[in-house]
Structure 1
Amino acid sequence: MFNLINGTQGNVKNDVLSGITVALALVPEAVAFAFVAGVEPMVGLYAAFMMGLITSAIGGRPGMISGATGAMAVVMVALVAQHGVQYLFAAVVLAGILQIMAGVFKLGKFIRLVPYPVMLGFVNGLAIVIFLAQLGQFKVVNAMGDMTWMTGSVLYWMLGLVLLTMAIIYLLPKLTTAVPASLVAIVTVTLLVHGLDLEARTVIDFVKDMVPEAQRDTVTLAGELPSFSIPMVPFTMETFYIILPTAVILCLVGLIESLLTLSLIDDMTDTRGRGNKECVGQGVANTVNGFFGGMGGCAMIGQSMININSGGRGRLSGITAALVLLGFILFAAPLIEMIPLAALVGVMFVVVIGTFEWASFRIVRGVNKEDAFVLFLVTGITVVADLAIAVVVGVIVSALVFAWKHATHIVARTHIDKDGWKVYDLDGPLFFGSVSHFKDIFDIQNDPDDVVIDFKESRIWDSSGIDALDGLADKYKEQGKKLHIRHISSECQTLLTKAGEYVEINVNEDPRYRIVSDELG
């Protein structure tokens, strides 16, 4: 329905205009996530500015937007509630250092191991999370101070303006792509609301609903430049033990969400980001956040999609978004405060529609049940629990499904050669999952005195396979029979103990491949 890709080549004009659009959408998100974490709004806005600026400048994925996120805000709640915001700043610094180390040790490459059904589940789950988050904008504070759903004309104007925003974003690219449709939609709806004095909630209304009634008259998004400050916590091992669990989770959640978003943008733009460099960029940004009073963050899939949709491809788009956001904080808070929430909600709804993999419904009908199960499992866990948990569970389940399916794939064709030897031509992987089937292949009692096991079409994947081959050699030896092992790699020969003496070496034909083993490390 909505095409999220408007052109593939970035340029200065597109990057700047796209950055302005993203900056407008960052404000309510940063404020909302700050309240989720239990910190002041400015802590979230500072985080959005610093994360966006630093990761855009030195990260590994031009065009990707980082800022304060809900996934990380949820992790921070307990630490802030129990120990205060200064401990949060210390935890964010430590999380940043851990992320830098992950990049230095090149751990970012492992995100490429995430299976395709897990990626689909991640994308669909986040699309649903973004959609559900926007529903909160349809609530207002009642006379009792509780949040209730809009009714009457307020609700009708909200729905109408959301639909108008979406219509502009959908229709304008058919006429011109000179300016981002999202930016035009936000400006048009803002002028319409204030020009006609329509009954519509604005960004400042949303912020006021988040604070106690006594403070609402003084609430503003105006601020000053963030200043350097070492977190005011005792530099003791006790403090380290307090912040370490939160820091580790922040590190993992931030990297998983950032690297998966990086992979998604790679696929959408037909380009290739650098995962390890992005780890370092995220780490530096979070470390700076901790020293300058920000709540930290990671890549934001919603704002990244807005940027891509608006034509932002280069680093300048993210840098512009961060600097424009800072400009709003320092000089133009009243302008950002007057933007109707309906315009921002409409933009995010378009992002939801474009982000959700609608093709996954067709894919589910065509793929096997296991992949469909993994897809829905990851989607569900992402919505009800946490992104990091969802991805870890999805990878584990996918690995178990893979192992189970391949456990029965090892077979053997047998024949008697001209010398009267029985030859087992193996086909399939030998690893922990297929060891049981491997052992059942051989008829040790009835085999002739000479038996050949040919690995030309097979591979030994792990130490369980090595151990199974050693055990088989023992059993043939006990029967007084001679075992011949052909076409096995030199690395496997090194690890074989009991069966090693039966290996027939053929330099020209023996395979050369690596197996994962500490002994060969």
Structure 2
Amino acid sequence: MFDLITNKDSNVKNDVLSGITVALALVPEAVAFAFVAGVEPMVGLYAAFMMGLITSAVGGRPGMISGATGAMAVVMVALVAQHGVQYLFAAVILAGLLQLMFGVFKLGKFIRLVPYPVMLGFVNGLAIVIFLAQLGQFKVLDGLGDHVWMQGETLYLMLGLVALTMAIIFFLPKLTTAVPASLVAIVGVTALVHGLDLEARTVIDFVRDMLPADQKAAATLAGELPSFSIPMVPFSLETLYIVLPTSIILALVGLIESLLTLSLIDEMTDTRGHGNRECLGQGLANTVNGFFGGMGGCAMIGQSMININSGGRGRLSGITAALVLLGFILFAAPLLEMIPLAALVGVMFIVVIGTFEWASFRIIRGINKEDAFVLFLVTAVTVIADLAIAVVVGVIVSALVFAWKHATHINARTHTDDDGWKVYELEGPLFFGSVLHFKDLFDPKNDPQDVVIDFNESRVWDSSGIDAIDGLADKYKVQGKKLHIRHISPECRELMTKAQGYVEMNLNEDPRYHIATDKLD
């Protein structure tokens, strides 16, 4: 794997140069995702500018880049197609407000519940998604207006320029790290293409291919400052009914992708971001997007990796990327339009190589088959469906695997004490998953008059465990016998005390053992 950590300490020069590199790489992504969502290219570019600027300034992870993303764009398609772009802006505002609430109530911490195999699957899945997205740049329009794969000299030129870009990025840091290799590669390949007048596809060619025939000639990335505007939708419950489902999904997808990217960058840079603050930053950015004509977005793992790889560590890198992107839109769109797509594809291919966790192949040989299954499952679902579904599926499957493993880990050692009482020394957690195994450990019919369950090496974790004890106590009561509880923990005592409203338990101190006792009436 290529080393993405070229410099652990942020400085102004690295942040500025890295920001310029990121700004160039943001353009085709923003334009492509705008078309995916069914909106104009400028809506995607405005989103990239506003998301990048606001999250970099007030978010919880310096060095992380946010912008218009495919994960959120696919959620927007149906709303835009059915109700128009103004409803999209309203949905983005509401999604931003929901994300702000996540931050206010400090719910970002729950990203820590994502297991490591799910994180590996997330990283590998996104690397594959980024790679597949770049393959679209190898298609051109035929005479019938259909996208077909490049052939002949066009294909060879594209592959050669991609390879040249990747070679510059890989070998230049071995000679000097004074400037980001990705920036040198983009500028160098652009100069080569136009200096030799090569017939290579450029950014503006990509934009034209996305537009209807009557709009191709006027295609441009030039624009003006985004202006404030309240979405032109009726302020009614009907509007809320229309946009709320989309807003909820946008908010969750955006936060999941952003917080997982934050965790990944934390690990790579050996630093610590702030999840709750990032929720606030993402929420504020999306809310502003809706009022200023942007399609919203979230953290972008590809561009974030470019930033990290280029030495960007501070907030200045993201702010620079956003301002440079705006500068190109306002003053230098022709320079942006002339960049060869091959240069940007080469940069993204390096990102794919650096993002994919190649060590996971070695890890699979050393971990259990359940974790390996979760890793492959999350990777596959990320590629086939989307990130949010993949993470949810991965967490659920991991939780079920965890519950099943611990359900079979409950057992008991038995002995008879000096008074003839049979003692069950319980080991393992008692919760909903282990209840059946717990019940099978006891023999109420053949046990003596007094039976003790010793919880010295066990804990009751939920109401299912309490109900299982209560049901077991009833069985002993039917046999005319008593069930006692020994060495109960303070947490279990509190849980049992709260449960007295719906289970027949009376916890007393047993003077014989100085322990909690289940005294049956």
Same fold (TM over 0.5): yes
Question: Hey, what does 2:363 align to over in structure 1?
Answer: 363
SS of 1:218's partner is coil
In structure 2, the CA distance between the partners of 1:310 and 1:509, relative to structure 1 (3 Å rule), is: farther
Unpaired stretches in structure 1, ≥5 consecutive residues: 512-521
Q: Which residue in the other structure is 1:115 paired with?
A: 115
1:491 aligns to what? 494
TM-aligned CA deviation for residue 504 of structure 1: 4.1
Shift of 1:135: 0.3
Once the two structures are TM-superposed, the CA of residue 70 in structure 1 deviates from its matched residue by 0.4
Match of 1:404 in 2: 404
Residue in 1 that maps onto 2:519: none
Partners of 1:81 and 1:500 in 2: CA distance: 59
SS of the equivalent of 2:143 reads coil
Determine the C-alpha separation between the residues in 2 that align with 1:16 and 1:487: 62
Q: Secondary structure at the match of 1:96?
A: helix
Give the SS at the match of 1:97: helix
CA distance in structure 2 between the partners assigned to 1:457 and 1:421 by the alignment: 19
> Are residues 1:501 and 2:480 paired?
no
8 Å CA contact 2:412, 2:424 repeated in 1: yes
Match of 1:519 in 2: none
1:344-397 Cα offsets, whole Å, 9 max, x none, are 000000000110111111222222221111111111111111111111111111
* Structure 1, 419-428 or 32-41: larger mean CA deviation: 419-428
Contact 2:408 2:434 in 1 (8 A): yes
Which residue pairs with 2:292 in the alignment? Answer: 292
TM-score (norm 2): 0.95
Which deviates the most, 124-133 or 206-215? 206-215
Kindly indicate whether the alpha-carbon contact (under 8 Å) linking 1:413 and 1:424 is maintained by their aligned counterparts in 2.
yes
Q: Extract unaligned runs of 5+ from structure 2.
A: 517-521
Give the superposition deviation at 1:509: 9.5
SS in 1 for 2:216: helix
Q: Is the 8 A contact 1:469 1:499 kept in 2?
A: no
2:67 corresponds in structure 1 to 67
Identity of aligned residues (%): 83
Deviation of the 1:502 alpha carbon: 5.4
Report deviation, 1:477.
2.1
Aligned partner of 2:163 in structure 1 is: 163
Aligned ranges 1:278-427 → 2 under 5 Å: 278-427=278-427
Please identify, of 363-372 and 55-64, the stretch whose mean Cα deviation from structure 2 is larger. Answer: 363-372
Find the aligned partners of 1:424 and 1:471 in 2 and give their Cα distance.
16
User: In structure 2, what residue type is equivalent to 1:221?
Assistant: L
Distance 1:23 1:149 in 2: 28
Shift of 1:474: 1.7
For 1:50-86, what per-residue CA distance to the aligned partner results, in whole angstroms no more than 9, with x for missing partners?
0000001111111110000001000111111111100
Change (3 A) 1:157 1:84: same
Aligned residue identity for 1:171: F
Alignment CA distance shift 1:213-1:437 (3 Å): same
Question: Following TM superposition, by how much is the alpha carbon of 1:214 offset from its aligned partner in structure 2, in angstroms?
Answer: 2.0
Helix, strand or coil: the match of 1:357? Answer: coil
Residue 427 of structure 1 aligns to a residue whose secondary structure is strand
Match of 1:96 in 2: 96
SS at match of 1:429: strand
**Partner-residue secondary structure (3-state), 1:103:** helix
CA distance 1:146–1:505, change in 2 (3 Å): farther
Distance in 2 (alpha carbons) for counterparts of 1:505 and 1:27: 73
Distance in 1 of aligned mates of 2:514 and 2:249: 48
Query: What's the TM-score, normalizing by structure 1?
Result: 0.95
Are positions 1:47 and 2:50 aligned together? Answer: no
Deviates more, 1:225-234 or 1:101-110: 101-110
**1:91, 1:244 within 8 Å by CA — same for their partners in 2?**
yes
Specify the SS of the correspondent of 1:217.
coil
2:359 and 2:71 mapped to 1: Cα distance? 26
